[in-house]
């Protein structure tokens, strides 16, 4: 069986080829994103394998269906980039990797927080220049701080476990609170209360039409002055123009993001010789209290192995009709 594999990076090929030995699928790797510009070229394959920035809107799904595609296999957890209703209409099975090392994302979130809070990125450069001064590197303790968490699913929980270890208080909001966390001292409150109380605020909910621009001018104004905001979830949770304003007024004390609402035009590529046309990311990169990584939080050995393993297993099970429709991997 053939798989058309989009947005391929060299490391994808290494992990998928290694784990495909037992499945023996024919995988055609393409570097390009899957989107309206290319969907018509997908032919003679029942399966497409896609990642976070491939755009599978209703038009793309119709084209894929007309060309015989029966399975869309997401090799990620989030699925905001696929029109699930359209896939259902065309009878296309959509699967994803619901959990691959939530610790990978949680640990990256903490790495960003510690880097920013203790100014490790500045210290690293300084010491290399033989500048051993501490001026400007003052940090603050995490112990005793109130950490607000929006979304306490797999990644949110892993993040909370680490932050409890630092001695932080956790105020959380989720549309489905988790009692096991309450037993560990996590307080569930409204999202408004989380925003008001947090010294550090971390987003771990999926992007949905309801929470698009969850962080905007109004909600920023609710936050404590100097709040540290972390987003390793999805870029669309934050209104970039409003966050720039919040940074300029110093309402936002620091911003650490691994995701960006216009990231599909930038991330996963080397643009070091290009003129970046996106003025918002350029403005963000100019702040001394903004740390950006390019959708890297998932990027560990363990996570890549699990992604390849589960994606290929999903495809094998669907194509042999052995997949349980209630499996957390299945979206349609
Ligand atoms: P999950 O499904 O285990 O947890 C998400 C939680 O968010 C659930 O408990 C759900 O009830 C809650 N939720 C949904 N809508 C909400 C809302 N409006 N307000 C508050 N809570 C809400 O998902 P998981 O595995 O924890 O992943 C979370 C997100 O992390 C993914 O949707 C994805 O966008 C992002 N992610 C980012 C990665 C990266 O490399 N930066 C890698 C993997 C996931």
Q: Is 103 a catalytic residue?
A: no
Determine how many CB atoms are found less than 10 A away from the CB of residue 38: 16
Crossing angle, helix 120-128 and helix 102-118, to 10 degrees?
Answer: 60
Taking each continuous run of H as one helix and of E as one strand, the counts in the chain are 12, 12
Identified catalytic residue from 234, 261, 264, 306: 234
Q: Compute CA distances 194 → 88, 212, 221, 243, whole Å.
A: 36, 17, 13, 18
Determine how many CB atoms are found less than 10 A away from the CB of residue 179: 8
Q: Rounded to 10 degrees, what is the CA torsion of 160, 233, 3, 85?
A: 110
Q: Is 96 a catalytic residue?
A: no
CATH topology of domain 2-100+301-319: Rossmann fold (3.40.50)
Residue nearest atom 4 in ligand 1 by C-alpha distance: 153
Bridge partners of 172, per DSSP, are 149, 188
Tell me the pLDDT of the chain (332 aa) as tens digits.
Answer: 999 999 999 999 999 999 999 999 999 999 999 999 999 999 999 999 999 999 999 999 999 999 999 999 999 999 999 999 999 999 999 999 999 999 999 999 999 999 999 999 999 999 999 999 999 999 999 999 999 999 999 999 999 999 999 999 999 999 999 999 999 999 999 999 999 999 999 999 999 999 999 999 999 999 999 999 999 999 999 999 999 999 999 999 999 999 999 999 999 999 999 999 999 999 999 999 999 999 999 999 999 999 999 999 999 999 999 999 999 999 99
pTM, two decimals, is 0.94
Half-sphere exposure of 270 (CA within 13 A, CB side): 2
Q: Which amino acids bring their CB within 6 angstroms of ligand 1?
A: 77-78, 99, 102, 105, 150-156, 173-176, 204-208, 210-211, 232-234, 258-259, 295, 297-298
Q: Is 234 a catalytic residue?
A: yes
**Angle at 14 (CA atoms; ends 68, 300), nearest 5 degrees:** 105
Q: Which of 2.40.50.140, 3.40.50.720, 3.30.1490.190, 3.90.440.10 is the CATH number of 102-292? A: 3.40.50.720
Ligand 1 site-directed mutation target among 112, 151, 175, 195, most atoms within 8 Å of CB: 151
> What's the sign of the alpha-carbon dihedral 132, 137, 143, 144?
positive
Q: Compute CA distances 122 → 135, 152, 247, 259, whole Å.
A: 11, 32, 19, 22
pLDDT for the residue 225: 98
Identified catalytic residue from 46, 197, 263, 306: 263
Question: Ligand 1 centroid vs 67 CA: distance in angstroms?
Answer: 32
Bridge partners of 45, per DSSP, are none
Tell me the CA end-to-end span of the chain in Å, nearest whole number: 21
Question: Ligand 1 centroid vs 133 CA: distance in angstroms?
Answer: 41
Half-sphere exposure of 71 (CA within 13 A, CB side): 29
Q: Where in the chain is the domain with CATH 3.40.50.720?
A: 2-100+301-319, 102-292
State the burial class of residue 299 (Cβ atoms within 10 Å of its Cβ: 0-12, 13-18, 19+): middle
> What's the sign of the alpha-carbon dihedral 97, 101, 107, 108?
negative
Phi, psi of 4 (to 5 degrees): -95, 120
pLDDT for the residue 151: 98
> What's the sign of the alpha-carbon dihedral 23, 25, 28, 30?
negative
DSSP code, position 205: S
């Amino acid at each position: 069986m053939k798989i058309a594999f989009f947005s391929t990076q060299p490391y994808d090929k290494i992990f998928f080829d290694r784990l495909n030995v037992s499945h023996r699928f024919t995988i055609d790797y393409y570097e390009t994103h899957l989107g309206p510009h290319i969907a018509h070229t997908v032919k003679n394959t029942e399966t497409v394998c896609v990642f976070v920035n491939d755009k599978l809107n209703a038009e793309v799904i119709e084209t894929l269906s007309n060309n015989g595609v029966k399975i869309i296999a997401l090799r990620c957890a989030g699925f905001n980039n696929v029109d699930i209703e359209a896939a259902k209409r065309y009878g296309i099975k959509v699967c994803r990797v619901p959990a691959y090392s939530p610790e990978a994302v949680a640990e990256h979130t903490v790495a960003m927080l510690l880097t920013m809070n203790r100014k490790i990125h500045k210290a690293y450069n300084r010491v290399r220049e033989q500048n051993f001064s501490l001026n400007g590197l003052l940090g603050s303790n995490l112990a005793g701080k109130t950490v607000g968490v929006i979304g306490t699913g797999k990644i949110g929980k892993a993040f909370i476990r680490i932050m409890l270890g630092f001695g932080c208080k956790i105020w959380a909001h989720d549309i489905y609170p988790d009692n096991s966390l309450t037993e560990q001292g996590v307080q569930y409150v409204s999202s408004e209360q989380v925003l008001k109380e947090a010294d550090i605020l971390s987003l771990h909910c999926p992007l949905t039409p309801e929470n698009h621009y969850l962080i905007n001018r109004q909600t920023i104004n609710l936050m404590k002055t100097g709040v540290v905001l972390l987003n390793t979830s999805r870029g669309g949770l934050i209104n970039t123009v409003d966050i720039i304003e919040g940074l300029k007024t110093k309402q936002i004390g620091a911003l650490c993001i691994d995701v960006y609402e216009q990231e599909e035009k930038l991330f996963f590529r080397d643009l070091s010789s290009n003129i970046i046309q996106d003025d918002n990311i350029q403005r963000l990169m100019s702040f001394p209290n903004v740390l950006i990584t390019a959708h890297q939080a998932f990027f560990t050995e363990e996570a890549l192995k699990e992604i390849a393993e589960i994606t290929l297993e999903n495809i094998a099970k669907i194509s042999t009709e052995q997949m349980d429709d209630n499996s957390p991997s299945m979206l349609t």
